[in-house]
Structure 1
Amino acid sequence: MKTLSLLPQPRAAHARIAAQAPLAPWGSEIRRVLCVRTDNLGDVLMTTPALHALRDACPGRHLTLLTSGAGAALAPFLTDVDDVIRYDAPWVGARTPRSHPADLAMRTLLEEGQFDAAVIFTVYSQNPMPAATMCYLAGVRRRLARCRENPYALLNDWVRETEPEHGVQHEVQRQLSLVQAIGANADDTRMRMQLRGIDRQTLETILARRGIDPELPYALIHPGASAESRRYPVERFAEAAAKLVRSTGMNMLITGSASEAPLAHALIDAAGPAVRPFMHDLTDAFELGAFAALIERAAVVISNNSGPVHIASALRAPVVDLYALTNPQHAPWQTPHRVLFNDVECRWCYRSVCPEQHHACLRGIPSVEVANAALDLIEETSRNRPTCRTRPVHHPIETHTE
């Protein structure tokens, strides 16, 4: 079991690649930019440093984000984005049955936007050509993306795709290096999510209604993930939570969507009756803003590698990331963290269900290591985060050896 910030690289990481001629910088003539990121909320958050670089490179530049429904939920919190267009693109994931008129309507909408340029942000397993075709047909004059094959007229600014054969970058670095190719350099590479006063006020109201004192420190535990292969066993979460309660007397707030409520119930039941007064089921309790405010105030966030990890990174909250080795690029970014995983030969499978059926990259992490990582982070960050101070336990809690 390892606790590393730098994840192991694919084996072919050091192969040589052919040089590519530099691209011409985008100047003040590029005023209206369409930024295409049709993935999930966490992917959009990991693109925010690149969005900031694009905007900062040209004062007055207008950015429109074309993104999925999940990504569009971030619209109120993205200060570098002027407009958001929701588009559940047919080339991203498994979608419900659809027909082409919606896509033709989107092409028309983009044409009406009169964009000077488009930047298409992808992970290396995605092909940028469908989005490039959409932008080409919408009359967007300059189109930038990474691409493996020659895109000919579809992309007039492009960077050769070299991942994963020649090493991989963190997702934030990948998107920053793409916009750097056209002269958008970043001095500040932090992820960004700007909360509002109403988000913090709503959080306090919800906690008070649940009988949770918002002034007391708490740990947040998020046991769900969209892919089964990225879920740490719920009974291990429960063991780690019980150890944290015995060590700190903190409240443990269990979060998730409505569909993840059974995970929260199972976690609380498995933690045992002695610590149950400290366990609080908050599944389906928050809109995005209040949920992010909950993460912002947490003494520590313990989560599978999912959206809460990236929200924590954007808000500089300490996070313990249970990192399934399905994808090497999505670790926490510029926030206090511990990345826990068990190295396996089948790493970087990119599968939603473990193809080996052993889940060893997660099941190999002892729960005591999760609890210890959380305790280390609480100690490391408590001086600068007064809400992280622990409190004494006021009633007996059974102790046992892990």
Structure 2
Amino acid sequence: MTQPDAPSPSTIDRWQGVRRLLVVRLDNLGDVLMTTPAMAALRSAFPLAHITLLTSPSGAMLAPHIGVVDEVMAVTVPWMKGGPMRPAINPERFDLVERVRAGGHEAAIIFTTASQSPLPMAMVCWQAGVPLRLAHCRENPYDLLSDWVGDQEVVQDGMRHEVRRQLDLLSAIGVHSPDVGMVFELRAADQAGARAHLKRIGLPAGHAFVLMHPGATAPSRRYPAAFFGQALGQLMQRGLTCVFVGSGDDADLVREAHAAAGGHGLVLLNQLTLGELGALIQQASVLVCNNSGPAHLAAAVGTPVVDLYALTNPQHTPWQVPSRVLYHDVPCRNCLRSVCPQGHHACLREVAPAAVAGAVMDLLESSVHEQSRPAA
């Protein structure tokens, strides 16, 4: 990987007067969450600036919960998948250059993973007349970027976490922050709504529970739904209360998991806002889920998570929260594919439900141990 050199005084001078800043993160909700520490650092560095987040429709759902930005603009682009809400794109009506130009932005920072190119969006910002443009880039961008960090990062075990990658990019313009926590602001209505949903399915206020979310946008990142159900059954045999949650495309997975559990466990389906889901995760003792948005929500709100981690990419593990990351090692690891190219899905299918239940118990026992430890 390439760490940015210390910025020159002229670079700092060019950026320090920015008053209208465009922050670009065009992929999924979880990716946007992992960029919130960088957004918070920008807010601290540019306290008077109007900061606009340009993101996918999926990422834009975070708008009420990331107060470090002033405005969120949703867009669908042909070079990025951008989550399950991606509508069809009409090339003749693709007006992103005009939309960016209308914002009067003085600078743009384009956040990408190591497997994505910033150049399409850099071209948009250049055409829109945004003077300052920063990104990681694997090839020489010439005039498309005014400031850039050479990207030699390889998708492999041991690579930087996605949160750290984006914070490192900002150091190229002299922006640093000791606070690297993710941002997801819960409102009182979110907390009250989550409690009301739990009460409606028969769970009293304050009753401990394990939350299971079997969904993920990419099929390659889905632990078999039936295995979720089997793990839940084992946890209930140990006296734990378990709740399945899901919405939209997750509905069939939740039903399959619930059936595999013999109809045991409580179910919340198609009923929660994103804020209520975040509050529900915060109120849970442990979240069990795939490597997807809910795992990053858990990290943002401080809930321990058992992450069924498909070996599609290694840099998206739960950030700064107690976790157990479960997978079965395979030669085709780090494939970056949305559908298993080998067809066997062994990196997840070979993880036994008993291992999932064991990981939950391990986290619960660790939590009890921490709570009982005498204060220093």
Q: Same fold (TM over 0.5)?
A: yes
Kindly indicate whether structure 1 or structure 2 has the higher relative contact order, using CA contacts under 8 Å at least 6 residues apart.
1
Retained in 2: the 8 A contact 1:55–1:62? no
1:101 deviates by 4.7
C-alpha contact (below 8 Å) 1:20/1:160 kept by paired residues = no
1:149-199 CA-partner distances (Å, limit 9, x unpaired): 111111010010112179631110111111111111010101110100010
State how 1:54-93 maps to structure 2 within 5 Å.
Answer: 54-93=42-81
Give the counterpart letter for 1:65 in structure 2: L
Contact 1:239 1:271 in 2 (8 A): yes
Equivalent position to 1:335, from 312, 318, 321: 321
Of 120, 127, 142, the residue aligned with 1:137 is 127
Q: Distance in 1 between matches of 2:337 and 2:155?
A: 18
1:217 is aligned to 2:208? yes
CA gap of 1:208–1:21, structure 2 versus 1, over 3 A, is closer
The 5 A counterparts of 1:272-311 are: 272=262, 276=264, 279-311=265-297
Question: Is the 8 Å Cα contact of residues 27 and 58 (structure 1) preserved in structure 2?
Answer: no
Partner of 1:50: 38
Q: Measure how far apart 1:19 and its partner are.
A: 8.8
1:383: Cα distance to partner?
Answer: 6.4
The 2-side partners of 1:359 and 1:63 are apart by 41
Matches within 5 A, 1:98-247: 98-104=89-95, 106-164=96-154, 168-247=159-238
Counterpart in 1 of 2:308? 322
In the alignment, the residues of structure 1 paired with residue 191 and residue 87 of structure 2 have an alpha-carbon distance, to the nearest angstrom, of 35
For the residues of structure 1 that align with 2:51 and 2:371, how far apart are their CA atoms?
Answer: 34
Which runs of 5 or more residues in structure 1 are unaligned? 1-12, 387-402
Corresponding residue for 2:25? Answer: 37
**Conserved in 2, the CA contact under 8 Å of 1:208 and 1:214?**
yes
How far apart, in 2, do the equivalents of 1:101 and 1:218 lie? Answer: 50
For residues 125 and 99 of structure 1, the distance between their equivalents in structure 2, rounded to whole angstroms, comes to: 25
Per-residue CA shift, 1:254-307, capped at 9, x if unaligned? 11123322222221221236xx2xx11212120101111000110100001011
Is residue 366 of structure 1 aligned with residue 366 of structure 2? no
Q: Which moved more, 1:107-116 or 1:135-144?
A: 107-116
- Counterparts of 1:156 and 1:19, CA distance in 2: 14
Residue 145 of structure 1 and its aligned partner are, at CA, apart by 0.5
The CA RMSD over aligned residues, in Å, is 2.1
Taking the aligned partners of 2:101 and 2:341, their CA distance within structure 1 comes to 43
Distance 1:371 1:263 in 2: 19
Structure 2 residue aligned with 1:354, among 319, 340, 364? 340
Q: Is the 8 A contact 1:57 1:183 kept in 2?
A: no
Residue range with higher mean Cα deviation, 34-43 or 372-381: 372-381
SS at match of 2:246: coil
| Unmatched runs of 5 consecutive residues or more in structure 2 | none
In structure 2, C-alpha distance between the alignment counterparts of 1:58 and 1:355, rounded to whole Å: 44
Query: For the residues of structure 2 that align with 1:202 and 1:21, how far apart are their CA atoms?
Result: 47
Whether 1:265 and 2:251 are equivalent positions in the alignment is no
- Give the conservation status (yes or no) of the 8 Å contact 2:77–2:89: no
What is the aligned counterpart of 1:376 among 354, 358, 362? Answer: 362
- In structure 2, how many angstroms separate the alpha carbons of the residues matched to 1:243 and 1:85? 44
The whole-number CA distance in structure 2 between the counterparts of 1:28 and 1:118 is 13
Deviation of residue 384 (structure 1)?
6.9
Identical pairs, percent: 47
Shift of residue 138, structure 1, vs aligned partner = 1.2
Determine the C-alpha separation between the residues in 1 that align with 2:100 and 2:141. 21
CA contact (8 A) 2:155 2:313 kept: no
Amino acid at match of 1:109: R
> How many residues matched?
365
What is the one-letter code of the residue matched to 1:266? E
**1:321-343 deviations in Å (ceiling 9; x for gaps):** 00000011110000111111111
Residue identity opposite 1:34 in structure 2: L
Q: Look up the SS of the partner of 2:210 in the other structure.
A: strand
Give 1:21 shift. 7.7
Change in CA separation of 1:165 and 1:41 when aligned onto 2, cut-off 3 Å: closer
Per the alignment, in what secondary structure is the counterpart of residue 181 of structure 1?
Answer: helix
Closer/same/farther in 2, CA of residues 97 and 269 from structure 1, 3 Å limit: closer
Q: Which amino acid aligns with 2:328?
A: N
Task: Output the CA distance in 1 between the equivalents of 2:203 and 2:149.
Answer: 51
Counterpart residue identity of residue 187, structure 1: P
Contact kept in structure 2, 1:107 and 1:134, CA below 8 Å: yes
Provide closer, same or farther for how the CA distance between residues 197 and 20 of structure 1 changes in structure 2, counting only shifts above 3 A: closer
**TM-score w.r.t. structure 1 length?**
0.86
1:22 Cα shift? 4.4
CA distance in 1, matches of 2:67, 2:327: 34
- Measured in 2, the distance between the counterparts of 1:165 and 1:318 equals 26
Cα distance in 2 between the residues matched to 1:383 and 1:209: 32
* SS of corresponding position for 2:16: coil
